[in-house]
Structure 1
Amino acid sequence: MMNEAQAEAAEPSVEKTAPSVALESMGLMLLRRFLRNRAGTAALVLLLILVVTALAAPWISPQNPYDLAQVSVMEAERAPGAQSDTGAITFVLGTDGAGRDMFSAILYGLRISLGIGVISALAALAVGTTVGLVAAYFGGKVDAFLMRVVDVQLSIPTILVALVLLAVLGQGVDKTLMALILVQWAIFARTVRGAAIVERRKDYIEAAMGQGLSPRRIMFRHVLPNCMAPLIVTATNQMANAISLEATISFLGIGLPQTQPSLGLLISNGFDYILSNEYWISMFPGIALVILVVSISVVGDQLRVVLNPKNDI
């Protein structure tokens, strides 16, 4: 029986000699298939615009809405299109109750919402993928135990788990990220486990085991790459779900602090002004949140169609 070092040296050279040209060609084919759908293309373009504007917020926003030197309470609750007292800024989307430019606040809020959604989804993906691969590879009691934990996690509403965790942990970006990771990892574990079980029964896995490769190498170098299609789709959808969940808990006042407001907290800040006919304080962040979540969801749905092996490319 060969040891792992010898097995690695003698491992079939498929992955080492697979022509990169074929992979690039497959990538182009998938991209062309994705772009055939007008709704998916429009959502992708819109999402890219939102990401770019969010990243460039410090450079393109008229003011830093959280720099007290740039904000005046005397300019609070200005209607869309109003001018600042100095005439230096046009409040395109108006101002909120603290005198902050709503356009600038939305751009900064987009940065936080996107950052939390992406980071929490990727971290949950890492945890859930590891759990799912271990369950599928070892099976038996290990699989039964891990899947019962996943079942318990998925049986409890995510909003309830997040509320309880944040009530215990308190407010903050790090605590919100921790709560979102804890409510998402089980979804990735279930997804990966289902795909990995199918791969685990194939001949190339038996061959890799016969060569003496370690379980870690088999799981992450052989099984995982063949589970990426459902993982990518799930990760995209979970980003949208994480952004929506964070907006919900921030709207309820237990998510992010006022010094780091996301779109959900901006909506909450303007909720008290709706009955005063100052609709823009809450409505425009709400529109931005809907556009962000819908665009990510449409992109994820189109990725599901493109990456489905049953569909002709």
Structure 2
Amino acid sequence: MNEIKTPAAQPATEVLLAPPETPGRLLLKRFLRNRTGTVALALLLVLIVMALSAPLISPQNPYDLAQVSIMEAERAPGAHSDDHRLLYLLGTDGAGRDMFSAILYGLRISLGIGVVSALAALAVGTTVGLIAAYFGGRVDAFLMRVVDVQLSIPTILVALVLLAVLGQGLDKTLMALVLVQWAIFARNVRGAAIVERGKDYIEAAMGQGLSPLRIMFRHVLPNCMAPLIVTATNQMANAISLEATISFLGIGLPQTEPSLGLLISNGFDYILSNEYWISMFPGVALVLLVISISVVGDQLRVVLNPKLDG
């Protein structure tokens, strides 16, 4: 009786107790395998943290007139203020604002515009795309012709015309960006939803008498999330670039709500007088922000569709 032992029972129990990896962890591991994507994600997270904590880490509030002096204008990078209380790490602009602080606050505006406009355009475009795919026929034909017309016109031209009519302002800029972005979401969602529309589970849901609204948003939409996530990331980068362009042209945001594009525009007149830092450092920040979002979006595309890897 003493020879009856079960040494293999313990390892078997340990294997059964090991928790399976969740889909989220598997996707994260696949994402982190790409060094470029990992570096871009780390850079993006750093920029986001810096933007969110701008009031805490910036040496001054560059848009508080009580903290800014015109006597400090056009200080070179590394210079100190007259009272030696501030180190202007990236110099000052023509109004005496600390460029490092201005860039942090500009990051907040640019990131906020990119996120809000992309999410709002996603909501509008997703609804249009689901309706077109679900009902088909004349509804689909009409909505897709509207999408085709929208996508056939350069986005910068549409944004310029809209802002010329609406005027300057953060809310008006967001509205213009949403109106030029929703169509790409509608087309992508419609393409993915048409594939799902013909599957058996949709026919079963229709047979049970479920409402079209519930079928579209509870059953079709979750299976279209992969292309939506990638599109939203790319459109966020596009929105930031487009807003910077129209603000640089002077028809986007007002001076009281400066984004990175407006900071670049403010320093453009100083380039010929050798005050390069006023325009260069916001430009570097804008490039890093857009590139990091774009690379993260491209890596997400590969992770969510493994056939594209390699």
Q: TM-score normalized by structure 2?
A: 0.93
Q: How much does 1:310 deviate?
A: 3.4
Aligned residues: 292
Instruction: Report percent identity of matched pairs.
Output: 87
Select which of 183, 186, 189 maps to 1:186: 183
Q: Does 1:95 find its partner at 2:92?
A: yes
Q: How much does 1:144 deviate?
A: 0.1
Matched residue, 1:248: 245
User: 1:219-248: CA deviations, max 9, x gaps?
Assistant: 000000000000000000000000000000
Q: Distance in 2 between matches of 1:194 and 1:37?
A: 28
AA aligned opposite 1:238: Q
Q: Does 1:86 find its partner at 2:83?
A: yes
Q: How does 1:162-181 map to 2 (within 5 A)?
A: 162-181=159-178
AA aligned opposite 1:305: V
Q: Distance in 2 between matches of 1:186 and 1:86?
A: 54
Select which of 122, 127, 139 maps to 1:125: 122
User: 1:157-191: CA deviations, max 9, x gaps?
Assistant: 00000000000100000000000000000000000
Q: Distance in 1 between matches of 2:277 and 2:49?
A: 24
> Any runs of at least 4 consecutive aligned residues in structure 1 with deviations exceeding 2 A, and if so which?
21-24, 309-312
Q: Distance in 2 between matches of 1:220 and 1:254?
A: 37
Q: How much does 1:86 deviate?
A: 1.3
SS at match of 2:307: coil
Q: Distance in 1 between matches of 2:208 and 2:194?
A: 20
SS at match of 2:278: helix
Q: How much does 1:85 deviate?
A: 1.0
Q: Does 1:148 find its partner at 2:145?
A: yes
Q: Does 1:77 find its partner at 2:74?
A: yes
AA aligned opposite 1:154: L
Across the aligned residues of Structure 1 and Structure 2, the Cα RMSD in angstroms comes to 1.3
Select which of 44, 47, 52 maps to 1:50: 47
SS at match of 1:274: coil
Matched residue, 2:236: 239
Matched residue, 1:18: none
Q: Distance in 2 between matches of 1:242 and 1:40?
A: 21
Cα 1:23/1:47, change in 2 over 3 Å: farther
User: 1:107-139: CA deviations, max 9, x gaps?
Assistant: 000000000000000000000000000000000
Q: How much does 1:264 deviate?
A: 0.1
Cα 1:38/1:78, change in 2 over 3 Å: same
Q: Max radius of gyration: which structure?
A: 2
Q: TM-score normalized by structure 1?
A: 0.92
Matched residue, 2:8: none
Q: How much does 1:311 deviate?
A: 6.1
Select which of 206, 211, 220 maps to 2:208: 211
Q: How does 1:22-33 map to 2 (within 5 A)?
A: 25-33=22-30
SS at match of 2:91: coil
Q: Distance in 1 between matches of 2:256 and 2:80?
A: 25
AA aligned opposite 1:99: G
Cα 1:222/1:173, change in 2 over 3 Å: same
Q: Distance in 2 between matches of 1:127 and 1:220?
A: 13
Q: How much does 1:23 deviate?
A: 9.6
SS at match of 2:191: helix
Q: Distance in 1 between matches of 2:31 and 2:125?
A: 27
SS at match of 1:33: helix
Matched residue, 2:285: 288
Q: How much does 1:281 deviate?
A: 0.2
Q: Distance in 1 between matches of 2:243 and 2:265?
A: 12
AA aligned opposite 2:79: A
Q: Distance in 1 between matches of 2:64 and 2:190?
A: 48
Cα 1:128/1:22, change in 2 over 3 Å: farther
Matched residue, 1:298: 295
User: 1:61-105: CA deviations, max 9, x gaps?
Assistant: 000000000000001000000001111110000000000000000
AA aligned opposite 1:232: I
